[in-house]
Structure 1
Amino acid sequence: MRDLGVAEQRFIDSMGLYFERQGSTRIGGRIHGLLMLAEEPLSLKAIARLLKVSAASVSTNIRASMAIGLVEPVSMPGDRQHYYVVNTSGWESRLRAAEESVKAFLRLCQEAMATPQLADKRHLRDAADFGDFYLAEMAGIAERWRAMRGARPTPRTPKASKGRSA
């Protein structure tokens, strides 16, 4: 990938700040922003060079991004380096994680309300009602997204194979 332009750098830095505000790392957000703009899979070395950060930092943050499903490794034919791309279903995995988080929160509220001393607490009821509402509204969103996405023409992407290279 060629060096980054001003608009690309601005977007990448904005993604870093966004991820940081969401409780992740700034460098993780910058890596994700870079991969969103990349026309081809990028190696750890290329990511480090483009972002002007250490390869160790890139490696640590790539592993964290892979663990939450936002980034996936790919291999390039004839090349033993590890390359990375945005996981095209990463947003769905984040959606599932958010849904699981709301379900866990809802269970805590419901368990508390099952206790006679806490059964009439207004804030617990509001939280449980919100959780129920959220889950009902989100039901089927991933399927609707896939249907809408499938109806759009997809741009050509470079040939790479998923999975780790040797």
Structure 2
Amino acid sequence: MNDRHEQWQAAERLALTLIEGGLQRMSARTLAVFLFTDQESVTAGEIADRLEASAGSVSGAIKSLLTVGLIERLPAPGSRREHYRLRDDAWATLFTSQNTVIQAMLQAAAAGIAATETGDPAHQRLTQMRAFYAFLLGELPALLNRWHQQNT
């Protein structure tokens, strides 16, 4: 077995782990390609070939990964195809983009609190939910700042 074959097996295992963690199957497999490629950038066609997947499913996965900030488009002078790569600061970017999820959770908790009575157990659970997400949102900037200081 060659090293490249072992790397792609590891990529598929990583994709399975990401799927178990809640990522869509094709997004997980596409992210694994970005993590394990030895190329500076890849095209959607190259990903589709590597994964033996349809262009449409790869296109959806790329859009998803672009939306959360894990990958970025690169200029490719002379090429008619879009080129993509994993962002240098992908993981911090992903975590930062999750602030929109935290904001949505805060809003949902607030709406639930407004719709319940003070002594209601649901009201208490929703109040705790709102307090947790407010705490988390307040801690994220300092956490990301420490991460950047440690990794620069």
TM bracket, shorter-chain basis:
0.7 to 0.9
Q: Which residue in the other structure is 1:136 paired with?
A: 138
Q: Which has the higher contact order (CA 8 A, sep 6+)?
A: 1
Matches within 5 A, 1:22-101: 22-39=21-38, 40-101=40-101
Which residues of structure 1 form unaligned runs of 5+? 151-166
SS where residue 151 of structure 2 aligns? Answer: helix
Q: Give, in angstroms, the shift of residue 35 of structure 1.
A: 0.8
Tell whether the 8 Å contact from 1:12 to 1:31 is kept in structure 2 after alignment: no
1:17 aligns with 2:16: yes
Aligned partners of 1:19 and 1:28 also within 8 Å: no
Aligned mates of 2:33, 2:111 — CA distance in 1 = 43
Any idea what the Cα deviations from partners look like across 1:17-63, whole Å, max 9, x if unmatched? 23433443212111111111223211222222222222332222212
The percentage of aligned residue pairs carrying the same residue is 22
Counterpart amino acid of residue 37 in structure 1: F
SS at match of 1:24: coil
TM-score between the two structures when normalised by the length of structure 2: 0.77
Match of 1:109 in 2: 109
The number of residue pairs the alignment matches comes to 147
Cα drift, residue 148 of structure 1: 1.9
RMSD: 2.6
Would the aligned equivalents of 1:109 and 1:127 in 2 still touch at CA under 8 Å?
A: yes
**Residues in 1 aligned to 2:56 and 2:109: alpha-carbon distance in whole angstroms:** 41
Paired residue type of 1:145: W
CA contact (8 A) 1:112 1:119 kept: no
Is the contact between residue 106 and residue 131 of structure 1 (CA under 8 Å) also seen in structure 2?
yes
Q: Could you tell me the TM-score, scaled by structure 1's length?
A: 0.72
More helix by share: 2
Distance of 1:17 and 1:144 partners within structure 2: 30
1:125 pairs with 122, 127, 136, which one?
Answer: 127
SS in structure 1 at match of 2:103: helix
Counterpart of 1:119 in structure 2: which amino acid? T
Could you list the structure 1 runs, at least 4 aligned residues long, displaced by more than 6 angstroms after superposition.
none
